[in-house]
Amino acid sequence: MVLLSFKVKTVPSCSIFTIKSNIYMNIASPITSQEIEFAPETIFIEESVSDHPLTLDTIRRFPNTPIQRNITYSDAVQMIQKNSSDVFGMGKRKLFLTRFKGSFLKKCPGISPGMVCCNYYVVNLLKNCTYDCSYCFLQDFLHNNPLLVAYVNIEDLISELDQVFRTYPERTFRVGTGELTDSLALDTVIPYSQQLIPFFNKQKNAVLELKTKSNRVENLLRQDSANNVIVSWSLNPQIVISREEKGTPSLKQRLEAAHLCANKGYKIGIHLDPIIIFQDWEKHYYELINSIFKVLSPAQIEWVSLGSFRYRNSLKKIIKERHKNNQLFTGEHVVSKDGKHRYLRPLRNQAYEKIRNFLKKISTDLNVYICMETKEVWEGVTGKMPRSDKKLDKFFDL
């Protein structure tokens, strides 16, 4: 597979900027303190965005939060390094507002040697996450860049996407915002969705995926249209959520949010990822699947993706330091071709097969795919490669 990079000039458009300013005026006012769960301990503002409407909108929401203006990223990181032994944990609570320079749109970097990837495009408006899952790869990936970063120049993103979608009308773009963050955890703090959704509603060849563990769907429910937008939930049995997904809404809260979005007309995706194998895992995943279909019908679900727990060696050390009570390393793991450790292949195959069978018993029409796995596992579990399945082909379309 070939990594595709778009060299698109990101010229801020005056007209987009003017319209956007009005949108900000609308969205700043109705948020109540109850709706905002996350409040940053400090807001750092880089000089180039000090007057940006989204910066002004964000600081207006937090009148009591200390603000450090005209500060560089490295100076902000140095400040928190002096004051904490858990710099990554503290970085999640400090919001750094800045401008993204360069092209936002890139091919999902999940493509790695020997792996079949749920191939799509990503854009990063946020870096890091307010939640603190024990298995989160960001702990390793952002080890030296721990701040919660928000790129406020969303007008540049929309201008870039518009140009790319027009340049390649024959392609279908599936674009996700949840590669380096949770797509919705901060949506009542920095409501990117209010600009992304109306833009994607109008596209003929593009779909937006908002991937989340949150229940912050207020802004989604206020939209006029759900066209071309998939909201996908990462789910695990409640026992795993309680133990390994700190700060995240419960399974019940996530499913309620999914139910509301489905009724609003959004397409729903389900990620059972990472699947964690522990004592009685089958029973817990069986119950999880039953809970999903108590609130959603198979027809409302666009796909279910499965992925097993995986990690690099460098992440294991961090997990053990930061999450003393985790139960991720109880079984045996082996290194795969991409350098990541996974459960032994027969164990992974068994977990995928069981869960896939639970799902297919609910409805044979469900699209179930396996993310970030070897060809051998794909073929072992499904009997075929994704390109030979017409239903799945659209997800793997290059």
Nearer to ligand SF4, 20 or 213 (CB): 213
Nearer to ligand SF4, 69 or 317 (CB): 317
Q: Which of 8, 95, 138, 231 binds ligand SF4 (CB under 6 A)?
A: 138
Nearer to ligand SF4, 96 or 131 (CB): 131
Answer whether 192's CB lies under 8 Å from 210's CB.
no
Nearer to ligand SF4, 215 or 228 (CB): 215
User: DSSP secondary structure string, 172-225?
Assistant: -EEEES-SSS-TTTTTTTS-THHHHHHHHHT-SSEEEEEEES----HHHHT-S-
Nearer to ligand SF4, 156 or 187 (CB): 187
Nearer to ligand SF4, 228 or 248 (CB): 248
Q: Which of 129, 142, 230, 351 binds ligand SF4 (CB under 6 A)?
A: 129
Q: Which of 371, 375, 379 is nearest to 395 (CA)?
A: 371
Number of residues that bind ligand SF4 (CB under 6 A): 9
Q: How far is the CB of 214 from ligand SF4 (least distance, A)?
A: 8
Helix (H, G, I), strand (E, B) or coil at 75: helix
Residues in region 217-256 near ligand SF4 by CB under 6 A: none
Residue 13 DSSP code: P
Contacts with 252 (C-beta within 8 Å, 6 or more apart), sequence order: 238
Q: How far is the CB of 191 from ligand SF4 (least distance, A)?
A: 18
β 229-234/206-212 pair status: parallel
Nearer to ligand SF4, 196 or 315 (CB): 315
Q: How far is the CB of 255 from ligand SF4 (least distance, A)?
A: 16
Residue 330 DSSP code: S
Please give the structure tokens belonging to residue 250: 């419960």
Answer whether 205's CB lies under 8 Å from 121's CB.
no
Q: How far is the CB of 309 from ligand SF4 (least distance, A)?
A: 11
Nearer to ligand SF4, 107 or 271 (CB): 271
Q: Which of 94, 213, 267, 356 binds ligand SF4 (CB under 6 A)?
A: 213
Q: Which of 46, 57, 132, 273 binds ligand SF4 (CB under 6 A)?
A: 132
- Of 63-71, 127-135, 276-284, 326-334, the segment contacting ligand SF4 by CB under 6 A is 127-135
The 10 Å Cβ neighbour count of residue 194 is 19
Please give the structure tokens belonging to residue 131: 């939640």
Give long-range contacts, CB 8 A cutoff, 24+ apart: 1-5. Answer: 1/111, 1/117, 1/119, 1/398, 2/398, 3/107, 3/111, 4/107, 5/103, 5/106, 5/107
- 182 touching ligand SF4, by CB under 6 A: yes
- The whole-angstrom separation of Cα 369 and Cα 314 is 28
Q: Which of 38, 131, 192, 266 binds ligand SF4 (CB under 6 A)?
A: 131
Helix (H, G, I), strand (E, B) or coil at 120: coil
Q: Which of 98, 159, 181, 219 binds ligand SF4 (CB under 6 A)?
A: 181
| Contact residues: ligand SF4, CB under 6 A | 129, 131-133, 136, 138, 181-182, 213
